[in-house]
């Protein structure tokens, strides 16, 4: 396997963006109230969610950067396509299992899936640039 160059500045920026997208998405101005009504995020303070989302964002961004570098992605649109493929192949299918098998709220599925889609597109676009 060939060595790949990973832009750690883009990874860090993407992780911050991932956390910010989640803060805004789950705020009272967007889907926070509906998300809470459907059983999401009980008992967690916002700053702890932000820290965890940043850590998770770092992990996700690193692997997006690794695969984009390995695939020689050099444009925002190609990066976003990779992010969409990751979201469709791994994220949304994983989120769908609890909705289908555990009969969790389909509204919760769409809220969480939408947040992840926006985050993956933004992160992978930045990394691909």
Domain ranges of the chain: 8-128
Q: pLDDT, tens digit, for every residue of 25-37?
A: 888 888 877 776 7
Instruction: Give this prediction's pTM.
Output: 0.85
Contact in structure between 31 and 111 (CB atoms under 8 Å)? yes
Q: What pLDDT, on the 0 to 100 scale, is given for residue 23?
A: 87
Confidence check: pLDDT of 111 > 60? yes
| 32/45 Cα distance (integer angstroms) | 13
Q: What is the pLDDT of residues 40-76, one digit of tens each?
A: 666 567 678 788 889 999 999 999 999 999 998 999 9
Write the CA distances from 87 to 27, 47, 112, integer angstroms: 22, 25, 12
Q: Distance between CA atoms of 128 and 93, rounded to whole angstroms?
A: 24
DSSP 74: -
């Amino acid at each position: 396997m060939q060595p790949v160059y990973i832009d750690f500045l883009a990874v860090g920026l993407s992780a911050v963006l991932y956390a910010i997208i989640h803060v805004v998405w789950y705020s009272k101005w967007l889907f926070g109230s509906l998300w809470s009504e459907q059983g999401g995020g009980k008992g967690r303070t916002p700053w702890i969610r932000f820290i965890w989302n940043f850590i998770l964002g770092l992990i996700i961004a690193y692997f997006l950067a690794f695969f984009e570098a390995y695939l020689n992605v050099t444009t925002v649109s190609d990066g976003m396509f990779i992010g969409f493929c990751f979201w469709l192949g791994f994220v949304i299918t994983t989120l769908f299992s609890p909705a289908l098998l555990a009969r969790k709220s389909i509204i919760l599925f769409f809220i969480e899936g939408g947040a992840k889609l926006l985050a993956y597109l933004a992160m992978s676009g930045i990394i691909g640039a």
